[in-house]
Structure 1
Amino acid sequence: MAEGLLLVLSEQGSVPDAEFHDWYDGEHGPARMALSGIHTGRRFRATDGQTPTWMAAYDIDLDVLATPAYRALRDRRSPREQGVIDRLAVLDRRVYELIDEHGTAGGAPPVVVCTSMSVPAEREPDLHSWYLEEHIPLLHAIPGWLRTRRYRLVEGDAPRFLALHELADPAPMATAAYRHATSTPRREELIRSVTARERRVFAFHRDFGAA
């Protein structure tokens, strides 16, 4: 069974804070966590000054998205849920398939860095080898860099490959080791081939709990 990630970026628009969080934390997230193919569900808030401000990340079995139970959550929304969704300024839903994983999960990560990019098809092997041979080893040598998972986009409008980095705190990103990991000659050569790129930084907000 293929492992995947459901990533939802949102901007609340005209929905008041209390209503937005009560709906997300009390109805929307828990309804998804009740399904057996959804294993974790967490919300994060942007710390990078960009929008959308909110991100929800669910570790899933990709097959769950095709089940009647999951489809019903989207096709038969409650009046409350529909009313909130209609007022959101942004609701950006993305589905990814897991490529590889490095490091160990230790519960909800305090900081998440999402880096995604697309390259021409002929450069994809170079992208993967750079990550595996250089970039991830350099990052994971930095104290506080906990886990990296890499994904391929299967649904949504986003760059094709996502690296989801989990950190103990923001401090690793201020180190000389991090600056080196993100500025090597190999990395700079590869970046020249990138056709789409996105980088976001989020802090942990809430864990919906295990199903």
Structure 2
Amino acid sequence: MADLLILPGRGTGPLYANIEAPDDIWTWLEPPPDPVPEGGIPYRFLASLGDVRTPSPFLYTVELDVAEADLPAVFEWYEQEHLPMLTACPGCLGGARYQRLDGGAPNLLAAYRFERPDANRTPEWEAARNTEWT
């Protein structure tokens, strides 16, 4: 069973629009209703840090397509360094990681809840994205 379902278009749930393409709207269902609507992308929850349950005005997502053999190293990096550093940045309320369940690509999703749209443009965010481990 999916912990998150992202549906294209408007639905019953929080709506997010792409800042660069405002007509690109997605419904964020966490957890998905039962029965699960068709046509969405299902994800399994992996980990979170900070406040990821309170709806936020801005959601910043990053998709990764990682080979199966490399998943343990990526998971370790996210858990030990990346997620803690990013969620500590000013304007970031929290972040969560998910793994896609339908076998499609990209297979990983990270979602960060922001207080403001430019939270990922701070010196702290840039430093967290550019470490030796990264």
Bin for the TM-score computed over the shorter chain: 0.7 to 0.9
When normalised by structure 2's length, the TM-score is: 0.85
For 2:17 and 2:32, the matched residues in 1 are separated by 24
Report matched runs for 1:102-141 at 5 Å: 102-105=49-52, 107-141=54-88
Q: Does 1:43 align with 2:42?
A: no
Q: Is the 8 A contact 1:94 1:156 kept in 2?
A: no
User: Normalized per residue, which structure has more helix?
Assistant: 1
Q: Is the 8 A contact 2:52 2:96 kept in 1?
A: no
SS of residue paired to 1:142? coil
Which position in structure 2 is the counterpart of 1:151?
98
Count of residues in Structure 1 that have an aligned counterpart in Structure 2: 134
**Higher relative contact order, structure no. (Cα contacts within 8 Å, ≥ 6 residues apart):** 1
User: Highest CA radius of gyration, 1 or 2?
Assistant: 1
Correspondent of 1:58 among 6, 9, 29: 29
Q: Is the 8 A contact 1:93 1:156 kept in 2?
A: no
Letter matched to residue 80 of structure 2: E
Correspondent of 1:168 among 102, 115, 118: 115
Give per-residue Cα distances to partners, 1:187-206, cap 9 Å, x unaligned. 1xxxxxxxxxxxxxxxxxxx
Deviation at 1:107, TM superposition (A): 2.8
Q: Percent identity?
A: 22
Question: Any stretches of 5+ residues in structure 1 without a counterpart?
Answer: 11-23, 30-40, 65-69, 75-91, 188-211
SS of residue paired to 1:129? helix
Deviation at 1:166, TM superposition (A): 0.5
Deviating beyond 6 angstroms after TM superposition, the runs of 4 or more aligned structure 1 residues are: none
Letter matched to residue 17 of structure 2: R
Deviation at 1:50, TM superposition (A): 4.3
For 2:64 and 2:56, the matched residues in 1 are separated by 22
**Cα separation, partners in 2 of 1:160 and 1:52, compared to 1, 3 Å:** farther
SS of residue paired to 1:107? coil
For 1:61 and 1:184, the matched residues in 2 are separated by 35
Q: CA RMSD in A?
A: 2.4
